[in-house]
Structure 1
Amino acid sequence: MAADLTGTTAVVTGGNNGIGRALAVGLAKAGADVAIWARNAERNAQTVAEIETFGVKALGVSCDVTDEQAVIAAMDETVATLGPLGCFVANSGISIETPIVDMSFDTWRHVLATNLDGAFLCTREAARRFVDQGVGGSMIVVSSTISRYGGAGMAAYGASKTGVLGLGRTLAVELARHRVRCNVLVPGWTKTAMNEHLQADERFVRATSGRTPVRRWAEPEEFHDIAAFLADPSLTFHTGNEVIVDGGYTIY
């Protein structure tokens, strides 16, 4: 049975590109009104226009998730415009590939600030809303398969995406009494703008595809139904789960 998110207000951070955009579109296709929180106003507007083609309301909010006051203001604007929060997706993330021996502390902190601190600030604000509203809700925290296998030059990204696993698990336990579910989405190799340089490396694509049982990378659109499933308010017993969508990469 397909999820019906009609009347649900959802937020997707970093929702104007890549997997985040796919999650936002998936929520909209299932009937949710969707707010996109991201810094690029032009891409926000493009995504809002796409979402509105599904007959739902959409909002683009220029928001730096590392800025505490900006996050609070974004939530205020979202709820005032679209209504009470029903689903929150903490997806914003950046990656800077640098060998550990060359990585500066500034680079380390920049990646962690966006991927982990940003996830904390956003989910904390969402948790506050959910608790105040008193009717439950759903959170989705987006990690990565790098939290399982590591990667050369990816110390900051790997650490941040492993950190959000712990954050998601804690939210699931702590917020269950408030009927708020939290699950962690763990995507595998997916064709996004963030990894275009890797897609251009035929040897790398062959190696990663060869280790993936389905023998290919994912298309972003394959996350549409995953988003709707994780946000489905009828799945009241589904929380604390790590949903791995990687074509079998991590078990092969």
Structure 2
Amino acid sequence: MMVDLTGRTIVVTGGNSGLGLSMAHGVGRQGAAIAIWSRTKTRNDEALAELREAGIESSAVACDTGDELDVAEAMRETVARYGKVDCLIANAGIASTAPFVDTDLEEWHRVLRTNLDGSFLCTREAARHFVERGEGGSMIVVSSMIARYGGAGQAAYTTSKNGLIGLGRTLAVELAPHGVRVNILIPGWTATAMNTHLREDEKFMRATTRRTPVRRWAEPEEFHEVAAFLADPALTFHTGNEVVVDGGYTIF
């Protein structure tokens, strides 16, 4: 896939592992400079080593995306380094599994703080930068297939991912006059560290694989081209779209 992102700066929240790191590789391979915003410095350093070994210009800011001051400082540092930001991939997220009747308010808030509040803060900071700069931009808001179906024991996670769909749609409408595109990525079952415990459950794997027409889970690397496509500045009319990449799960 030929997408030219040369000269573009792309922020990937939660970009130090899993799907976020894979998308960082995808846009970086097309010429973009990558800025990872994520909490854990050691994992940030490991991700940078991997990206730089692949020849990708990259940097990282140790940022708690659920903290308003951290997010503002991360944008300041990124703009100071690269002069601008062209695209934000709002990917940072955590999971939680517990029966609904046993989910306490603290756990509910912990998940929503990262998944929903964090995406709000990061997209707002990016929107402010795009509007002030006056040259447009783009955002990719990463939701989840679970937002369409729900899942037992996943009340907080599912609610947060549904909220991201609403956030992405609203931003697409509100920011379009500023030349800012906002699309929502809805990935299906993907083999990442976050769901290792699910992949160790043979019954669960059989059930989800049977439900997926391609009869397997995705590998993170399969989102390289998806991220590059969504970040492509040439697609000026593509906004407000929910891009489902799930091996056919949602139509089966």
| Structure 1 segment 13-52 matched on structure 2, within 5 A | 13-52=13-52
Number of the residue aligned with 1:162: 162
Name structure 2 gaps, 5 residues minimum. Answer: none
Note if contact 1:165-1:184 (Cα within 8 Å) is conserved in structure 2.
yes
Tell me the secondary structure at the aligned position of residue 170 of structure 1.
helix
State the shift of 1:129 in Å: 0.3
Is residue 2:231 matched to residue 1:212? no
Note if contact 1:136-1:179 (Cα within 8 Å) is conserved in structure 2.
yes
What amino acid is aligned across from residue 221 of structure 2 in structure 1? E
What amino acid is aligned across from residue 79 of structure 1 in structure 2? V
What amino acid is aligned across from residue 62 of structure 1 in structure 2? A
**TM-score where L is the length of structure 2:** 0.98
Number of the residue aligned with 1:97: 97
Q: Distance in 2 between matches of 1:159 and 1:88?
A: 22
| Structure 1 segment 141-160 matched on structure 2, within 5 A | 141-160=141-160
| Structure 1 segment 112-127 matched on structure 2, within 5 A | 112-127=112-127
Number of the residue aligned with 2:176: 176
What amino acid is aligned across from residue 239 of structure 2 in structure 1? T
Q: Which range moved further: 148-157 or 79-88?
A: 79-88
Note if contact 1:22-1:223 (Cα within 8 Å) is conserved in structure 2.
yes
Tell me the secondary structure at the aligned position of residue 230 of structure 1.
helix
State the shift of 1:144 in Å: 0.1
Q: Distance in 1 between matches of 2:245 and 2:83?
A: 31
State the shift of 1:43 in Å: 1.1
State the shift of 1:54 in Å: 3.9
State the shift of 1:49 in Å: 1.7
What amino acid is aligned across from residue 128 of structure 1 in structure 2? R
Number of the residue aligned with 1:249: 249
Q: Distance in 2 between matches of 1:92 and 1:135?
A: 26
Tell me the secondary structure at the aligned position of residue 101 of structure 2.
coil
Number of the residue aligned with 1:196: 196
Q: Distance in 2 between matches of 1:54 and 1:178?
A: 34
Number of the residue aligned with 1:187: 187
Q: Which range moved further: 50-59 or 76-85?
A: 50-59
Q: Distance in 1 between matches of 2:80 and 2:211?
A: 47
Name structure 1 gaps, 5 residues minimum. Answer: none
Percent of paired sites with the same residue: 63
Superposed CA RMSD in Å reads 0.8
Note if contact 1:57-1:82 (Cα within 8 Å) is conserved in structure 2.
no
Tell me the secondary structure at the aligned position of residue 92 of structure 2.
coil
Q: Distance in 1 between matches of 2:20 and 2:200?
A: 22
What amino acid is aligned across from residue 38 of structure 1 in structure 2? S
Q: Distance in 2 between matches of 1:162 and 1:124?
A: 18
Tell me the secondary structure at the aligned position of residue 101 of structure 1.
helix
Q: Deviations over 1:148-171 (max 9, x none)?
A: 000000000000000000000001
Q: Distance in 2 between matches of 1:161 and 1:183?
A: 14
Note if contact 1:7-1:32 (Cα within 8 Å) is conserved in structure 2.
yes
Tell me the secondary structure at the aligned position of residue 78 of structure 2.
helix
Q: Distance in 2 between matches of 1:155 and 1:127?
A: 29
Q: Distance in 1 between matches of 2:46 and 2:27?
A: 16
Q: Deviations over 1:29-81 (max 9, x none)?
A: 11100000111111111111222234332111100011000000000001111
Q: Distance in 2 between matches of 1:202 and 1:219?
A: 18
What amino acid is aligned across from residue 151 of structure 2 in structure 1? G
Note if contact 1:65-1:121 (Cα within 8 Å) is conserved in structure 2.
yes
**TM-score where L is the length of structure 1:** 0.98
Note if contact 1:23-1:227 (Cα within 8 Å) is conserved in structure 2.
yes
Number of the residue aligned with 2:140: 140
Tell me the secondary structure at the aligned position of residue 55 of structure 2.
coil
Number of the residue aligned with 2:229: 229
Tell me the secondary structure at the aligned position of residue 185 of structure 1.
strand
